[in-house]
Amino acid sequence: MFPLDAKIGAEGTKFTPAARHLAAKMAAYEPFAAASSLLEEFSGICASPKSVERIAHAAGEAIEAESQAKMKLAAESPESIQAASAPMNIAYIEPDGTGVPMRAPDLEGIEGKDGKAKTREAKIGAVFSQTGLDDKGRPVRDKASTSYASAIEGKESFGLRLFTEALMRGALNAAILVFLADGAYLK
């Protein structure tokens, strides 16, 4: 979540920080035109789809700037952002990726398996805990314990992003730490 007082789109805008926050939240779940309609229906705030798009992009930039600052801190001084919460019994760190179709301009300079790329790899990682087993002895993920990190970036940068998430969750203090990845992630 970006701070309500973030200066996203502040210059020359008629929207308060709370209105920008609401528009960005709606745009995270719906296309910009639908988010614009819902924003007006639920709050009475009139914002064109283009305004909602600009607000959403500015919110994304603010969130990414905050993430980059935390990642820098994690790389320089991991103990400074390590969660002070009660340690997890068993913590999981699980990265994965998938190809996402892109427009030609977004694929310039990207090599594909057979020459020209048609997709970019979106990486996503989950950090979660497990304390119990089901009646067949299989691990059961703790309810509401999962947090995510995602980006379209190289594996080194994404590794730092996921490491930062694990630090903030206190996963590195777990009694047992499980890194669960397929072989494709390690290439």
**Poorest-pLDDT segment among 26-35, 51-60, 62-71, 83-92:** 83-92
Show the tokens assigned to 120.
Answer: 């970019």
Instruction: Indicate the SS3 state at residue 179.
Output: strand
pLDDT (mean) for 163-183: 91
Which residues constitute the domain of residue 120?
A: 84-179
CA torsion angle 45 67 150 30 (round to 10): 0
Residues 35 and 95 occupy one common structural domain: no
Residues 71 and 105 occupy one common structural domain: no
Task: Tell me phi and psi for residue 146, to 5 degrees.
Answer: -90, 130
Of 29, 49, 76, which one is at a domain's C-terminal end?
A: 76
Residues 171 and 131 occupy one common structural domain: yes
Would you say residue 6 has pLDDT above 60? no
Would you say residue 7 has pLDDT above 50? no
Residues 137 and 174 occupy one common structural domain: yes
DSSP count for the chain of H helices, then E strands: 4, 7
Residues 151 and 101 occupy one common structural domain: yes
Q: Are 90 and 178 in contact (CB under 8 A)?
A: yes
pLDDT (mean) for 177-187: 79
- Round to whole Å and give the CA distance between 148 and 125: 6
Residue 56 within a domain: yes
The predicted-structure confidence for 75-117, as pLDDT tens digits, reads as follows 999 888 887 666 788 999 999 999 899 998 888 888 877 778 8
Number of domains composing the chain: 2
